[in-house]
Amino acid sequence: MKRILVTGGAGFIGSHLCERLLKEDNEVICIDNYFTGAKKNIVHLLDHKYFEVTRHDVTMPFFAEVDEIYNLACPASPIHYQYNPIKTVKTSVMGAINMLGLAKRTKAKILQASTSEVYGDPTVHPQHESYWGNVNPIGIRACYDEGKRCAETLFMDYHVQNKVNIKIARIFNTYGPRMHPNDGRVVSNFIVQALNNQDITIYGDGTQTRSFQYVDDLIEGFLRLMDTNDDFTGPVNIGNPKEFTIMNLANKIIEMTGSKSKITYKPLPEDDPIQRKPDIGLARKMLNNWEPGITLEQGLVKTIDYFQKTL
């Protein structure tokens, strides 16, 4: 039985990860400061004999003896990470230093939840891991993008300098049950608006693209990445390569919910990437033929069902 630490374990992705790791007969320690996560995301796990939760902020050191660490703590939606940008940078950078220090001391394997945002507003399409990105270092998204880029640097430096066993996952837009209804990300926003028959807010003209991955596919990718040979560090893209315009997504959600919502247009936020789609060749090769198995329609059915029950 492995003892596994999940930072940000009470968040959307973290809660699915804790659930899966427990199902695979591991002991799980979840730490979270509940900034964007919630106890209700993990309340169904609290009775599990091998599940522990601690309220803890990753900008402070954490001590425990662990075999593996998944470092997910960080607000992920633009409205939340822009709420206190300095704290966002601290969470990514100091959180990485603290967790890498823990990994170094305990000789634990450590996986970083990095992001497609390291590619910024990409000039290369689809995005391959070898692309260095196009990020505005002083824009409103910089606290998140540059924080995550610096975390990748720290991971690589701890690996080279201190032989820490690291894995870097570059996650592309992921959605599913337990997203926060007000977290401002496009899938949850559109579903909540559609279910309430409110206007669907498209930012810009809706021609910008994203590639949406259902959360279960990501979790499978995480576990396979953690299990790769010690000499494979990544970064590796984990995302669904099927690309949609935001307009496509809005129409699909209106149709699937049978909503009376109309579409309205709002200004495109500063530095909003125009296109995004992962090249998943490396993931296929290194993660034992991993690829997303859940289509957007299948994932939306489950996510709409969740919001119908929650709202």
In the complex, the residues that contact ligand UDP under the rule CB under 6 A are: 77-78, 173, 185-186, 189, 201-203, 208, 210, 246, 268-269, 272
Query: Which of residues 218 and 261 has its CB atom nearest to ligand NAD in the complex?
Result: 218
Query: Which of residues 167 and 185 has its CB atom nearest to ligand UDP in the complex?
Result: 185
Applying CB under 6 A, among 5, 11, 191, 226 the residue interacting with ligand NAD is: 11
Q: How far is CA 294 from the centre of its chain?
A: 17
35 binds ligand NAD (CB under 6 A): yes
Active site residue 214: no
Cβ–Cβ < 8 Å for 56, 5: no
143 binds ligand NAD (CB under 6 A): no
8 binds ligand NAD (CB under 6 A): yes
Shortest distance (Å) from residue 91 CB to ligand NAD: 4
Name the nearest CA neighbour of 166 among 283, 68, 280.
Answer: 68
Catalytic option among 70, 81, 144, 214: 144
Applying CB under 6 A, among 45, 58, 118, 300 the residue interacting with ligand NAD is: 58
Applying CB under 6 A, among 4, 6, 12, 106 the residue interacting with ligand NAD is: 12
**Residue whose structure tokens are 């496509």:** 248
The partner in contact with residue 189, picked from ligand NAD, ligand UDP, none with C-beta cut-offs of 5 to 8 angstroms by kind, is ligand UDP
Shortest distance (Å) from residue 113 CB to ligand NAD: 4
Binding mask 78-107 for ligand NAD (x = CB under 6 A): -------------x----------------
Query: Which of residues 98 and 173 has its CB atom nearest to ligand UDP in the complex?
Result: 173
Side chain identity at residue 47, one-letter code: D
Shortest distance (Å) from residue 260 CB to ligand NAD: 28
Q: Rounded to an integer, what distance in angstroms lies between the CA atom of residue 35 and that of residue 22? A: 24
Strand partners, 7: 31, 71
Applying CB under 6 A, among 106, 165, 174, 257 the residue interacting with ligand NAD is: 174
CA dist 136 → 129, 143, 149, 203 (Å): 19, 10, 12, 20
Strand partners, 203: 266
Shortest distance (Å) from residue 293 CB to ligand NAD: 18
